[in-house]
Amino acid sequence: MKINSPLEAYKYLPGTNCGECGEQTCMAFAAHLIDRSKDLTECTPILEDKFKKKYEELDALLAPEIREVEIGVGENVVKIGGDDVLYRHKLTFFNQNALAYDVWDTMDEKDLVERVKYIQDFKKFYVGNFLTVDMIAIRSTSDDPKKFAAAVKKVMETTDLPLVLCSFNPEVLRAGLEVAKDINPLLYAANKDNWKEIADLVLEYDVPVTLFAPDDLDLLKSMAKTFAEMGTEKLVLDPGTFPTGERLRKTFNNFIKVRRAGIEGDREIAYPIMAVPFTAWMAHDDPVSASYWETVVASVFTVKYGDIMILHSTEPYAMLPELHIRDTIYTDPRKPVTVDPGMYEVGEPTKDSPVLVTTNFALTYYTVESDISSNKIDCYLWAIDTEGIGVEAAVAGGQLTADKIKKGIEESGFDLKKDTSHNTIVLPGLAARLQGDVEDATGANVLIGPADSGRIPGWMEKNWPPEKK
């Protein structure tokens, strides 16, 4: 039975309040164990032999309901699963789902390399981070072990991304594993016909494997139980992904049933789930329709428990929605998305450039920064620490105040009188009521800018430079 309160975790800790974990008390450390912001091994006293039993018991009690599976090695290792809740708002989803885009072993070598490089290099800057792709899925369309091995080798020469090796032929998978055995690829897949041979491969090479039982949850659970009894829990479950009509609804329900059972304590089926939106290409002849429905299916199962996906379309209109919805769903609701507070230079500001104030809520900051930079406005942009809250709410809640703005100025080392020719701050329109307080606290002139950062260029034409007093 998993524990969910700091007090329950505290009972197993040494209780010395030694501070070696970085917290002042063991109770504070226990709270971090529950929200998984710290690891049990950071408590060095519990690693001593006299606490060995308590360590093992607590480690088991803290283990996530859904087992965590690692694919790949080194810096690019992908972790999937590891969740404790059905609904993100109850805690968070910890490991974002992995997106694997496909190549196949009958591709021309030049086309293969170009596609792998495109997948590897694809990225989109969004709210302070680059959205990227995680994995390459190599499909055996030739059913030829030698061709498959050659394709795996060429992909490995081109990228360090983790791999999914895709075939129902055990000999083809063995050929691929001989090449990729050192990088811990995921095998796809074991089914009711080949599971014995695939199990032998999994145990011999110690790699994770996907179990495939389309629309048969009893068989899926039976296979998972059998593989676990044989000695491996590096399992991913594929209950089948049907991309259209009534069977899509059935797929949706199957995903929910599998995840709910795992979260509610059925350890025999508590593994990461694979969705295969790629199947849209098998249901639609028109490439545009196939790509559209692939993205729809990927979006649905990003929301509902698809821990890893195999996809085909690499068009930006398909990839961007998939990456954006993943970023949204796997953002931790316990933590506002922030940028570091401080003074930022946009463009090449001089002493005559304006000093604009905003908050450190990432969406606010990057919206303002984008509106300024896209209009070629050189300025200083001050991100005040509002605990990741936007302007209007921060003013109302007291997170954006004159004292906070003054403190931000002092901590940045920026001197308005020396570093500018105008000693002027521009507040956002939604913070207009702070004007007098900021003038009193900082001794600077304060102008009120527009409420919408998209109107900053027009505001600048009318109000900048400020009149000298």
User: Contact 209/190 with Cβ under 8 angstroms?
Assistant: yes
Is 453 annotated to bind a ligand? Reply is yes
User: Contact 363/128 with Cβ under 8 angstroms?
Assistant: no
Is 26 annotated to bind a ligand? Reply is yes
CA distance 160 to 180: 11
DSSP 8-state assignment for residue 342: E
The label of the residue with tokens 């403190």 reads 407
User: Contact 67/232 with Cβ under 8 angstroms?
Assistant: no
Is 245 annotated to bind a ligand? Reply is no
User: Contact 172/144 with Cβ under 8 angstroms?
Assistant: yes
Is 379 annotated to bind a ligand? Reply is no
What's the gap between Cα 317 and its chain centre? 20
Is 358 annotated to bind a ligand? Reply is yes
Is 21 annotated to bind a ligand? Reply is yes
CA distances from residue 182 to 74, 179, 227, 462 in whole angstroms, order as listed? 11, 8, 22, 64
CA distances from residue 426 to 437, 441, 445 in whole angstroms, order as listed? 13, 15, 9
How many residues are recorded in the chain?
469
The label of the residue with tokens 């049907």 reads 242
Listed in order, strand segments (DSSP E) in 351-461 are 355-359, 379-384, 424-427, 445-448
CA distance 321 to 30: 38
User: Contact 120/159 with Cβ under 8 angstroms?
Assistant: yes
DSSP SS3 for 209 = strand
Is 389 annotated to bind a ligand? Reply is yes
- Binding site feature residues for [4Fe-4S] cluster: 18, 21, 26, 43
Q: Which residues are annotated as a binding site?
A: 18, 21, 26, 43, 358, 364, 388-391, 453
Q: Which residues make up each annotated binding site for 5-methoxybenzimidazolylcob(I)amide?
A: 358, 364, 388-391, 453
